[in-house]
Amino acid sequence: MLFFLLYFAAILFIVHIIFNYNKRAALIRKIPGLKDHFIVGNALEGVKSPVDLFRFGRELAKKHNGIYRFWCFPIGAVFIYNPDDIEIILTSMKYHEKSVIYKFLKPWLNDGLLLSGGSKWLDRRKILTPAFHFNILRRYLVSLNDSADRLVDTVNKIVNIEVDLVPIVSECTLQSICESAMGTKLSDDTTGKSYKTAIHELGLLLVQRFVRIYLYADFLFNLSSLAKLQNKYLSIVHNFTRNVIKERKKYVMDNGIDLSNAISDSTDDVNIYRKKRTAMLDLLILAEKDGLIDNAGIEEEVDTFMFEGHDTTAAALTYALMLIANHPDIQDKILAELNDIYCDTKRAVTMEDLNAMRYLERCIKEAIRLYPPVPFISRKLNDDVQLSNYTVPAGTLCHIHIYDLHRLESLYPNPTKFDPDRFLPENVAKRHNYAYIPFSAGPRNCIGQKFAMMQMKTAVSTILRNFKLLPVTGCSDLQFQSDLILRNSKPVICYDAIYFRGLQCTPCDMFADYDNIISIVSLKQSHPDTTKLNDRNCRASFVV
């Protein structure tokens, strides 16, 4: 018996030596990190709830100095959140391949721009870049204004009830990207509804898989009930995309539309935008005619833009609105800027207005510094690389923690303070070029960042031209969970507020009509500070 025990112990010891004392392990384990356990290294540290995992990551970032590592044979990962190392990784095409973390998106997005690599990625990026040219972005403004107006209508309908802000904002961003990427309005008919539900459910399924390490292996995931659900929703989403593309191609053919002219036409007549606002999809159809992409390629790109283009902006808008609600002085400054731009008119947002919203832009930039919608990105290192004086061997995963970078005291003194003036040009000039990367940076940066900024400015300014925001959820109420997007966890009761109840909004109107004038009376009694809103009159308060 003793012999067998000794024999077993010797085998474990040999396994431990093989796993933890090979050349790769030696290099990775030189980097500061958690204490290694016998054989399994740091594997057990990852077994935590999504909320605890997020919190644990922040604790590790505080404890270390811009870099730490994870090791569990054969998986090695470095976590970096200092601008020098981030610059090395993001500027080099050598390290632009996405890590295994992204593979869960593959069944949905296939080889679209987010996931593809090498020459395929380069070719597609070239095809799609013109879709974000200034003249094309102008056209999307029609959809962005429509979506912002619908957001205001939705808010107006839910007076006096407490609802979660996230789905309302997501609906708005989903509509916008759908109209821009596909040229299709998401109607409330059965097809539109089931597409929206399917996209939402797919997002949730991704999260569920992401936090269950035992489902990382495809063969185990495929046996699970989650896989069945995923297939069901994928088929709805893919069928919808296929139909939209088919219909648009038919429309182009039946009406003899010359896409090359339609896309290059830079006229700024709004009615023409309305007819031609499918630029993203049209560009792809044009590229297919030139033999640069096939139908399957168009489908994966449209799916990619639908995914990347709505959840991210929804998260950004949610946190921006929350922060503005919690900082009345900043909200007043934004209003003053909007009053200067719009004076007494109710007109829609134009490109010139967006350019004039300089203070609002700083507020949004500061909001996504504090709450970057994509809190981390990840690369596979195909070559050895020197990071913070450590050699990181090829094959290691490199997680770039945008959230922790954006909260470094050395880059942002008093980092948790919401201070839009950090983005005054003179302050930006003093910082490292890679100190602020909500949209990533380098050749694989976010292709949709200008669109996203336009969308956020349009939505926030439209909301603020209609409502005063009062706080319900504060920054300290937020409790994030590990996810691809910075997402708050389930509601948790705290004082009288529920996490992510969102905002208390007071409908008001810069351009008081009869209805609103009647209402001022009732509001002024309960909210005396409404008078701060210049000449804007308000009628009631409610919680959104």
Shortest distance, CB of residue 142 to ligand HEM, whole angstroms? 16
Binders of ligand HEM in range 95-114 (CB under 6 A): 98, 113-114
Burial 241-274 (b: 16+ CB within 10 A, else e): beebbeebbeebeeeebebeebbeeeeeeeeebe
Binders of ligand HEM in range 117-136 (CB under 6 A): 125
Binders of ligand HEM in range 197-256 (CB under 6 A): none
Shortest distance, CB of residue 315 to ligand HEM, whole angstroms? 7
Q: Nearest CA to 141 among 385, 419, 353?
A: 353
Per the CB < 8 A criterion, the answer to whether 509 and 516 are in contact is yes
Q: Which of 312, 504 has the CB closer to ligand HEM? A: 312
> How far apart, in whole angstroms, are the C-alpha atoms of residue 278 and residue 127?
15
Shortest distance, CB of residue 249 to ligand HEM, whole angstroms? 21
Binders of ligand HEM in range 142-201 (CB under 6 A): 177
Residue 377 in contact with ligand HEM, rule: CB under 6 A: yes
Shortest distance, CB of residue 181 to ligand HEM, whole angstroms? 7
Specify binding-site residues.
446
Residue number closest to ligand HEM, CB atom: 448
Residue 127 is which amino acid? I
Burial 160-170 (b: 16+ CB within 10 A, else e): eeeebbbebbb
Q: Which of 406, 444 has the CB closer to ligand HEM? A: 444
Q: Which of 452, 454, 520, 533 binds ligand HEM (CB under 6 A)?
A: 452
Tokens of 113: 């721009």
* 355 Rama class: left (phi>0) / alpha (psi -120 to 50) / beta: alpha
Tokens of 114: 């987010």
Q: Which of 171, 179, 308, 337 binds ligand HEM (CB under 6 A)?
A: 308
DSSP character at residue 37: B
DSSP character at residue 421: G
x/- letters, 404..433, toward ligand HEM (CB under 6 A): ------------------------------
Between helix 328-342 and helix 311-326 the angle, nearest 10°, is 110
What residues are paired with 537 via a beta bridge? 509
Binders of ligand HEM in range 8-37 (CB under 6 A): none
Per the CB < 8 A criterion, the answer to whether 203 and 109 are in contact is no
Shortest distance, CB of residue 440 to ligand HEM, whole angstroms? 4
Tokens of 61: 């970032």
For the chain, give the number of residues.
Answer: 544
Per the CB < 8 A criterion, the answer to whether 144 and 176 are in contact is yes
Q: Which of 92, 382, 440, 489 binds ligand HEM (CB under 6 A)?
A: 440
**Interacting span for ligand HEM (CB under 6 A) from 38-46, 390-398, 446-454, 511-519:** 446-454
State how far the alpha carbon of 503 is from the alpha carbons of 348, 469, 489, in Å. 24, 6, 17
Q: Output phi, psi for 380, to 5 deg.
A: -100, 125
Q: Which of 148, 368 has the CB closer to ligand HEM? A: 368
Q: Which of 341, 374 has the CB closer to ligand HEM? A: 374
**Interacting span for ligand HEM (CB under 6 A) from 24-32, 51-59, 380-388, 437-445:** 437-445
x/- letters, 312..351, toward ligand HEM (CB under 6 A): xx--x-----------------------------------
Specify binding-site residues for heme.
446
Shortest distance, CB of residue 459 to ligand HEM, whole angstroms? 11
Q: How many chain residues bind ligand HEM (CB under 6 A)? A: 25
Q: Which of 404, 509 has the CB closer to ligand HEM? A: 404
Per DSSP, helices labelled H in 225-327 are 225-254, 259-264, 270-276, 279-289, 295-308, 311-326
> How far apart, in whole angstroms, are the C-alpha atoms of residue 338 and residue 298?
39
Residues of this chain that interact with ligand HEM (CB under 6 A) are: 98, 113-114, 125, 177, 304-305, 308-309, 312-313, 316, 368, 373-374, 377, 438-440, 444, 446-448, 451-452
